[in-house]
């Protein structure tokens, strides 16, 4: 019998060794930025060291192979540092800044179709130049544009160029504890500023600035949306069809989306491997048609790859769909040259390529969950499936589907809890029907688009797709309404998430790994216990940054006392903070005095003279700053967002004139203070 040595996975998958130092460079540059000169020096030194190493004798190269590996790791680390530094809009000297204000004007081209909001139209603009009189200074940078809504029709389209005369404003985070950091998200998109425009703040010029390929993609996307809206009756069903096929979520019902999220099947809406797999299967089938229609073996891989990437671009080019596109590209190339690549090498290689394209995807939850799900399937699917042997084919199919769903949850669970603070208790039930049915729906939508030029066939196909989506929505909403459908309020930090992964890896290795799992589990328990201990002793005030509303939480231990408007969107603004602070009970707090020397004034000036550590002005209170300063002595004055712009500006000017500090929530973010 011939002996075949077992080759370690990191030797069969070289990208597994290349990816960690590259990611380390990205992380270090983001959290502890190095000077650009340091990055170039490290890159040049590592490259030169590798060149000199290749010149020494083979015997020394073999003996000092680890040294060459170290040089390569330093080279990749430096590459990560320089790549992130080059993509960070905050460090670019040629970008726009707040000095470029009127009387300067900005030449901006519209980069995306306008999306409709309650009171505005929103889009992204690419700044081309700064105009001052007859002087033009070319620059670069993206800004968010909000246009006052006067009609139900967008005022212009992709490619239009505008002359903007309005001053820019920085994109700011709400500052609400535990909430989504919108400012950081925009920075990752290359956006630091925004402008709110009325009709007199901009002019549309006749010359357009269009990318022909992007224009083709947007036009095709709009045609697909028009087909789905025309032949699929029902607004919710048509919106779901748009999201499932091409990732267009403008018409997606928000409550329905929340139901899909709560039941753990939101992944069927995100364009990912399921969609690319179906496109791959269809393209391969079309290329193998019998007779003269069959495509030659030389052209087949190029047609399939082109089709996969065209669909990926049409679907918006999200990290999950691009990951699938890269992996399917490797699969097609491997089949063409009769070589099978390691799934782990393909995963690491695709991650390396995508992070080179956009290093900020490393912080993207979709990117992380996409790779965690595929890696989890690769590692755990077969072992879970092999736990039971089922003879019946139907039962075996159900068990295989169950094993796939369970395997995908193993490595995505810590990330889901870390990012979204919930766990879908009935994910297994929901996925068993949702995943296969979504595949049928996707196929039906593709057929609908293909036969759209035949109204009779398109109408019949649209009716079938409508009922399939309707039944799927009803099933998901039914699961979401079951008792204990989702476990809400889960809160773990990054250290605890890492500990969970160490526990999973340790339990997977059993005898050897138990010595990793037990210490990690101990650290996880200690960190969690300490968080509950500190939460039980906390005394903290939070004045939330909620547009046009009052929302105030007072944390005394794990009890929260709430003062504010009843219509506040609590899931987005308030609940993340309560989960972060381990709140166990919520009570309504009435009256002006919230706590020891914490006063809320939301109607008129109290007829008392007193000391107040914190005064909060809300709901356009009838207050004159001179009178307030005469009656009260305070340490902190907070002006929340329930006040009108005129009241806020008047109080700000009065505070500046009197030399009084104030915290304007709309400008500085949520007010958070420990009351010790």
Beta carbons of 273 and 325 less than 8 angstroms apart: no
pTM here is: 0.88
Residue 83's closest CA among 25, 163, 161, 9?
A: 25
Dig out the tokens for 233 from the structure. Answer: 């009756």
- Rounded to 5 degrees, what are φ and ψ at 536? -70, -15
Q: Helix 455-481 to helix 235-246 angle, to the nearest 10 degrees?
A: 100
- The span from the CA of 469 to the CA of 321, in Å, is 22
- pLDDT by residue (tens digit) across 631-656? 888 888 999 999 999 999 999 999 98
The reported pLDDT for the residue numbered 543 is: 94
* Position with higher pLDDT, 27 vs 117: 27
Cβ 531 vs Cβ 558: under 8 Å: no
pLDDT at position 330 is: 77
Q: Compute the average pLDDT of residues 596-622.
A: 83
Q: Which of 238, 265, 232 is nearest to 250 (CA)?
A: 238
pLDDT at res. 11: 66
**How far is Cα 439 from Cα 428, in angstroms, rounded to an integer?**
17
Which residue's entry shows tokens 């799927």?
A: 472
Residue-level pLDDT at 104:
75
Distance in angstroms between the alpha carbons of the first and the last residue of the chain = 75
Long-range contacts of 235-240 (CB under 8 A, 24+ apart): 236/473, 237/465, 237/466, 237/469, 237/470, 237/473, 240/269, 240/469, 240/472, 240/473
Give just the sign of the alpha carbon dihedral 255, 256, 261, 267: negative
Query: Does pLDDT of 6 surpass 60?
Result: no
Go through 174-184 and write b for each residue having 16 or more CB atoms within 10 A of its CB, e for each that does not.
bbbbebeeebe
Q: What pLDDT, in 10s, does the model give residues 77-131?
A: 999 999 999 888 877 766 666 555 666 788 889 888 888 887 888 889 888 888 7
For residue 540, count other CB atoms closer than 10 A to its CB: 18
Q: What whole-number distance in Å separates Cα of residue 282 and Cα of residue 445?
A: 13
Residue scoring higher pLDDT (579 or 567) = 579
Of the chain, the percentage scoring pLDDT greater than 70 comes to 93
Tokens of 488: 């809400």
Q: Is the dihedral of CA 570, 573, 576, 582 positive or negative?
A: negative
pLDDT of residue 292: 58
Confidence category of residue 393, pLDDT binned at 50, 70, 90: confident
- What is the pLDDT averaged over residues 7-16? 69
Per-residue pLDDT, averaged over 230-234, amounts to 90
Give the mean model confidence (pLDDT) for residues 454-469. Answer: 92
Tokens encoding 59:
């015997």
Instruction: Considering only residues 165 and 577, tell me which one the structure prediction assigns the higher pLDDT.
Output: 577
User: CA-CA-CA-CA torsion for 455, 435, 254, 475, nearest 10 degrees?
Assistant: 90
Q: How far apart are CA 179 and CA 173, in angstroms?
A: 9
Q: How far apart are CA 358 and CA 83, in angstroms?
A: 9
Q: Do residues 554 and 527 make contact, with C-beta atoms less than 8 angstroms apart?
A: no
- Tens digit of pLDDT for each residue in 214-231? 888 888 888 888 999 999
581 by DSSP, 3-state: which? coil
Q: Write down the pLDDT at residue 4.
A: 47
Instruction: Collapse the DSSP code of 582 into the 3-class scheme (helix H, G, I; strand E, B; otherwise coil) and give the result.
Output: coil
Please say if the pLDDT value at position 665 is more than 60: yes
Reply yes or no on whether the pLDDT at 607 is more than 90. Answer: no
Instruction: Report the distance separating Cα 63 and Cα 462, nearest Å.
Output: 68
For the cut 50, the answer to whether the pLDDT of residue 512 exceeds it is yes
What burial class does residue 527 get, using C-beta atoms within 10 Å of its C-beta: 0-12 exposed, 13-18 middle, 19+ buried?
middle
Q: How many residues does the chain have?
A: 676
Band of residue 3 on the pLDDT scale cut at 50, 70, 90: very low
| E runs forming strands in 351-441 | 422-424
What is the predicted pLDDT for the residue at 467?
94
d(CA 436, CA 427): 14
Contacts of 662 (CB under 8 A, 6+ apart): 637, 638, 639, 651, 652, 655
Mean pLDDT of 574-593: 90
pLDDT value, residue 248: 83
**pLDDT of 289:** 67
Query: What is the average pLDDT score of the chain?
Result: 85
pLDDT of amino acid 555: 94
pLDDT tier at 26 (50, 70, 90 boundaries)? very high
* pLDDT for the residue numbered 315: 77
Pairing of strands 161-164, 105-110: antiparallel
As a whole number, mean pLDDT of residues 56-81 equals 85
The helix (H) or strand (E) run that includes residue 23 is: helix 15-31
SS3 of 269, please?
Answer: coil
Q: Is the pLDDT of residue 433 over 90?
A: no
Range in 151-155, 171-175, 357-361, 662-666 the model is least confident about: 151-155
| pLDDT (average), residues 377-382 | 88
Residues 6+ apart with CB under 8 A from 649: none
What SS3 state is found at 487? strand
Q: Which residues contact 305 (CB under 8 A, 6 or more apart)?
A: 329, 332, 333
Tokens linked to 515: 């010595």
Count CB neighbours of 504 within 10 A: 20
**Nearest CA-CA partner of 371 in 22, 81, 16, 17:** 16
Residue 520 has pLDDT above 60, yes or no: yes
Radius of gyration of the chain (CA): 29
């Amino acid at each position: 019998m011939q002996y075949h040595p077992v080759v370690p996975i990191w030797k069969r998958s070289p990208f597994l060794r290349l990816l960690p130092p590259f990611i380390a460079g990205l992380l270090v540059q983001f959290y502890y930025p190095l000077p650009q000169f340091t990055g170039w020096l490290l890159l040049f030194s590592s490259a030169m060291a590798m060149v000199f190493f290749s010149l020494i004798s083979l015997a020394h190269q073999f003996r000092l192979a680890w040294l060459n590996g170290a040089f390569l790791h330093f080279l990749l680390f430096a590459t990560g540092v320089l790549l992130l530094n080059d993509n960070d809009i905050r460090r670019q000297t040629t970008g726009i800044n707040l000095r470029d204000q009127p009387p300067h004007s900005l030449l901006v081209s519209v980069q995306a179709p306008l999306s409709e909001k309650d009171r505005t139209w929103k889009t992204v603009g690419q700044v081309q130049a700064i105009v001052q009189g007859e002087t033009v200074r070319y620059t670069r940078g993206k800004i968010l544009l909000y246009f006052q809504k006067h009609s139900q029709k967008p005022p212009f389209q992709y490619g239009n160029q505008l002359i903007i005369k309005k001053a820019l404003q920085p994109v700011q985070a709400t500052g609400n504890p535990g909430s989504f950091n919108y400012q950081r998200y925009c920075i990752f998109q290359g956006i630091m500023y925004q402008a709110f425009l009325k009709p007199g703040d901009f002019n549309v010029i006749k010359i357009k600035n269009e990318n022909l390929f992007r224009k083709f993609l947007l036009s095709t996307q709009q045609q697909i949306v028009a087909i789905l809206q025309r032949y699929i009756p029902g607004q919710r069903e048509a919106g779901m069809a748009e999201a499932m096929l091409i990732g267009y979520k403008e018409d997606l019902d928000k409550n329905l989306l929340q139901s899909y999220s709560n039941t753990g099947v939101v992944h069927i809406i995100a364009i990912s491997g399921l969609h690319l797999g179906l496109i791959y299967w269809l393209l391969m089938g079309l290329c193998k048609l019998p007779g003269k229609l069959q495509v030659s073996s030389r052209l087949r891989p190029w047609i399939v790859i082109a089709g996969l990437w065209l669909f990926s671009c049409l679907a918006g080019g999200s990290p999950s769909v691009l990951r699938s596109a890269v992996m399917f590209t490797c699969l097609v190339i491997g089949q063409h040259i009769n070589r099978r690549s390691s799934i782990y090498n393909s995963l690491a290689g695709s991650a390396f390529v995508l992070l080179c394209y956009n290093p900020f995807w490393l912080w993207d939850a979709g990117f992380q969950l996409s790779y965690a799900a595929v890696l989890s399937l690769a590692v755990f699917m077969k072992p879970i499936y092999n736990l039971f042997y089922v003879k019946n084919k139907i039962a075996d199919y159900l068990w295989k589907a169950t094993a796939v769903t369970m395997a995908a949850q193993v490595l995505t669970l810590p990330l889901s809890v870390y990012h979204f603070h919930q766990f879908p208790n009935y994910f297994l039930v929901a996925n068993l029907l949702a995943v296969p049915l979504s595949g049928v729906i996707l196929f039906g939508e593709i057929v609908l688009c293909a036969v759209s030029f035949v109204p009779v066939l398109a109408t019949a196909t649209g009716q079938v797709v409508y009922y399939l989506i309707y039944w799927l929505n009803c099933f998901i909403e039914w699961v979401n309404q079951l008792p204990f459908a989702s476990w809400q309020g889960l809160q773990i930090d990054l250290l605890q998430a890492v500990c969970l992964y160490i526990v999973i890896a340790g339990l997977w290795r059993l005898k050897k790994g138990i010595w990793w799992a037990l210490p990690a589990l101990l650290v996880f328990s200690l960190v969690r216990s300490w968080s509950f201990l500190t939460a039980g002793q906390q005394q903290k005030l939070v004045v939330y940054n909620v547009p046009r509303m009052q929302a105030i939480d007072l944390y005394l231990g794990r009890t929260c006392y709430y003062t504010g408007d009843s219509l506040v969107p609590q899931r987005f603004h308030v609940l993340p903070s309560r989960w972060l602070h381990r709140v166990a009970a919520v009570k309504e707090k009435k009256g002006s005095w919230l706590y020891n020397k914490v006063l809320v004034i939301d109607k008129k000036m109290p007829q008392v003279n007193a000391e107040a550590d914190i005064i909060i002005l809300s709901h356009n209170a009838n207050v004159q700053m001179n009178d307030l300063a005469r009656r009260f002595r305070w340490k902190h004055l907070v002006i929340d967002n329930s006040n009108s712009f005129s009241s806020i500006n008047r109080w700000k000017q009065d505070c500046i004139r009197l030399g009084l500090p104030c915290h304007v929530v709309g400008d500085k973010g949520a007010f958070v203070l420990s009351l010790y």
